[in-house]
Amino acid sequence: MHDSIVPTDPDFYKKLLDHVGNGVYFVDRERKILYWNEGAYRLTGYKAEEVLGKCCQDNILCHVDHLGNRLCKKGCLFSACISDGGVHEANIFLRHKQGRRVPVTVQVRPLRGADGSVIGAVEIFSDNSAEIDAGRKIEAMNRMAFLDHLTQLPNRRFLDMSLETALCEFQVHKDPLGVLVLDLDGFKGINDSYGHSCGDRALQEAAKTLTGALRPTDIVGRWGGDEFLAIVRNVNLESLSELAERSVVLISETSVPVDNEKRVPLLISVGAALSRPGDTPEILFRRADELMFRSKAGGRGRATTE
């Protein structure tokens, strides 16, 4: 019989955590980051050397909830955990190094010293955006020429077909249906000031943020240029408005890096319309599009629901 192996090398445990798919990091009572595993790097884009020694309240990941409230300033799970010694969980959005918002499930647990006192906390977080299913959809759409290659979202051809199908189902089964028209504000200025490569990154990061902001059952794609279209089923006016507002808030928390010192913030204007009996795809889209232009006229970076 083999003797049991009891690892004594601290590096063993570091390597072990680096092989965990989830992001893991530790902080002390002052919320200074003491450890950052490879999973945290994969999910956030930040390497350990970029964050070790910094405090989470420096707003590195800029955690926000679905309403856009900045949790590092109010509602920090680390602060609550260190204060009450309890386990805290939440579904929130972190900001990736590239600027997009990533939906994550977070669990924070206390770290205790030999005397039982809380000496810090550990956060374990994972991406909950169903990347595997999304990858399969992308592969299928690629085969059928339904993919916008810049944003990796459904293209206009796919959106046209999906909207027509959804409206047919609405006319027969009366299942409620909504449409969001989402247009990036100031996109021409980004291209003119920082170049088309920056404009492309803005579209890519906006696409990823919108995918996380909407529900898994919703379809969001690139309609053309700097305009996106979302087809949302099983909604009423209140939930449609909530999705539109959430998209605005999370895009406003998204930015694109220009260099090591500067980031370009993004804004989006949204128009949201519910389907009506007798609607054609053209009529429903035009109604949402007019509401989107009303948002732009009202100051941009906002949503208008009929």
226 is catalytic: yes
Catalytic position from the list 218, 226, 279, 289: 226
Tokens of 276: 């009506």
By annotation, the residues acting in catalysis are: 226
